[in-house]
Amino acid sequence: MEKVIMAAPRYDVKTIWLHWLTAALVIALWCLGQTIDWFPHGAPRVFARSAHISIGALLAGVFVYRLWWRATAGARLPAAGTGGLKVLARAMHLALYVCIFATVALGLANAWIRGDNLFYLYKISPFDANNKALRESVENYHAYAANFLLIMAGMHAAAGLFHHYLLKVDVLGRMLPALGRNARAIP
């Protein structure tokens, strides 16, 4: 006989969309950030870097809106676990928010320090064009933050799968539109 678990309370549609849009933007930015140097110098690299900066600015806007939505109108659900799992879940969400903020802030600082060109339409005035050490430091910190964010997001996803498949808790049904609507069997 298979175990049947009732549907978990669900997040509202906007919260779900903001969650998945944030995840998609983070993954796209990381992939583009890893491949920018593969583009030939000149227009292709300027376009790739400009796209990365523009998508990063979009992530900043989505992130601010997501925080506002969560604080004012978004559904607030209790943690799926208890005790240590509850504390760990809250710590992970806070760490993800801090990592997103740090990565975006360092990315904006990186664009400003470098004085990037946006699609040949706008040139960001460089903060300190001759300070190569500062530029390299901020660029490295941005990359470290992005890598750490991706690792944390992977751990977050793994925790969701752990809850779903091993603990048989319908935590994925809270955030995936296709799951958790009605009682359903968990294999």
Q: How far apart are CA 152 and CA 99, in angstroms?
A: 8
Model pLDDT, residue 89: 85
Identify the CA nearest to 156 among candidates 130, 46, 180, 164. Answer: 164
Of the pLDDT bands very low, low, confident and very high (cuts 50, 70, 90), residue 178 is: low
pLDDT digits (tens, 9 = 90+) for 8-48: 578 888 999 999 999 999 999 999 999 999 999 999 999 99
Of the pLDDT bands very low, low, confident and very high (cuts 50, 70, 90), residue 6 is: very low
pTM of the predicted structure, to 2 decimals: 0.86
Q: DSSP letter for 7, please.
A: P
Of the pLDDT bands very low, low, confident and very high (cuts 50, 70, 90), residue 158 is: very high
Rounded to a whole number of angstroms, the distance between the first and last alpha carbons of the chain is 10
Count, in order, helices (H) and strands (E) of the chain.
4, 4
Domains and CATH numbers, the chain: 3-186 (1.20.950)
Of the pLDDT bands very low, low, confident and very high (cuts 50, 70, 90), residue 175 is: confident
Helix or strand holding residue 117 (H, E): strand 117-118
| Average pLDDT of the residues in 127-147 | 93
| Burial class of residue 130, CB neighbours in 10 A (0-12, 13-18, 19+) | exposed
